[in-house]
Each structure stands twice: as structure tokens, then as C-alpha cells.
Chains A and B, each alone.
Chain A
Amino acid sequence: DAGVTQSPTHLIKTRGQQVTLRCSPISGHKSVSWYQQVLGQGPQFIFQYYEKEERGRGNFPDRFSARQFPNYSSELNVNALLLGDSALYLCASSPGSFYNSPLHFGNGTRLTVT
């Protein structure tokens, strides 16, 4: 079975631009989460969607938005990019939304803002 797939793998953008990152979950997984990982740190929670509804949002500005589609794939949008948005963006899926559901991560999108 295919794992979590993310696109693109790498991206270079200029300050002020907008970016869209895409994620396809493991087949049968209805929960998709987004995490930001800055170099040298652990992943930080951005959003979680379950059954196409936003279930959680981390401490990120409104420039960050996301959505989940009927096929459970998801997009993360970041507007007005700042240098500090440079990071590895990880998408994760899980079969359910309970605390005993491990996250299964994609390979990430490495975003560089110049």
C-alpha cells in the first residue's frame, strides 16, 4: 500500500509570495495533520482535519490555512511568506482521531523562503 505522499518535495519561494503544499493520506485514513519542523527542532502542530472538518489548530498566524477534500487529501496554504517560514512541512495521516492512533508521516516538503 502507498504511504502518505506529499508534493512538491522541495520549493523555493520569495518573501511575500504564497505557497500551496499537497498531501495524500494512506488509503482508508480519514485524518490528516500538518506539522512544521524547523531545523534542529521537533515538529510543531499546525492543523488537524478529520472527515473534512478542522479539528485542531496550532499557534500559527492566519497566514496559514488548510482544507481537506472529499477524497481525504489535503492542502496547506501559506500566504505572505516570511523568511521564518522556511522549514520542512510534514503531512501525517492516521486511521482515526483517537489518542492511540499513531501518525504516519510523508517525506515532507522542504520550503525555502529567500
Chain B
Amino acid sequence: AQKITQTQPGMFVQEKEAVTLDCTYDTSDQSYGLFWYKQPSSGEMIFLIYQGSYDEQNATEGRYSLNFQKARKSANLVISASQLGDSAMYFCAMREGSGTYKYIFGTGTRLKVLA
């Protein structure tokens, strides 16, 4: 069964430093997508970055990059040059390619950026 694990309930990072948020996944499917979302205290879920199971290059979107290690089934989010506005909950999610239409989310990591 598909599963997403985020083992860091909370993280602190100093402004302008980089931070890595961990995500491991479990699936028996060969085709799947991995996603990261940001949820500020206001509640909306903001899509950040996507990685496909067949993508050989790690995905990057501005200050966000995804460290994809397929053999380890990990998809860690790296935020470079942290900003105060990055303080939020971060969720890792997965969608399998066959059968199911649901996205599975982890329990999230609360990131606090310190000035």
C-alpha cells in the first residue's frame, strides 16, 4: 500500500540558510508522482514542486529543489536561502500511476525560519 512518511514534526532554520525536509515513500507501482506542498497558517495548500518516478534529474523550482533517491524511496525537499515567509507546514504527497486517483499526504513538517 502506498504510504508517505515525514519524520520531522518541526524544524528550525536561520534566515538565509538552507534546510532539508525529509520524505520517504512506499509504493509497489513503477509509475508515480511525488509532490511537495506548503501550507501557511492561513490554510491554503500551495503546490511547490513535482518529481516523476521516471525523471532522472532532480526537480528544481526557484529556491526549491527535490533530492530524489529512487533506490532509497526518498524525496527530500531542499529550500535554499530561507526567508521568513517560508515559515509554514510542508507536506509531501504521492500519487500512483495505476488504479487509484488519490493523492496520499504525509503528516507534515512545521518549518520555522528565525530572523
Enumerate chain A interface residues (CB-CB to B < 8 A). 33, 40-45, 48, 50, 55-56, 58, 88, 90, 92, 97-108, 110
- A98-B96 Cα distance, complex, nearest whole Å: 9
Asked if B102 and A102 make an inter-chain contact with CB atoms under 8 angstroms apart, the answer reads: no
Question: Could you write out 20 A-B pairs with CB less than 8 Å apart?
Answer: A33-B102, A42-B93, A42-B106, A42-B107, A43-B45, A43-B105, A45-B103, A48-B102, A56-B101, A56-B102, A98-B97, A99-B33, A99-B52, A99-B97, A100-B50, A100-B52, A103-B103, A104-B47, A105-B46, A106-B44
Residue of A nearest to B9 (CB): A40
Enumerate chain B interface residues (CB-CB to A < 8 A). 4, 31-33, 35, 37, 42-47, 50, 52, 91, 93, 95-97, 100-108
Q: A43: which B residues are within 8 A, CB to CB?
A: 45, 91, 103, 105
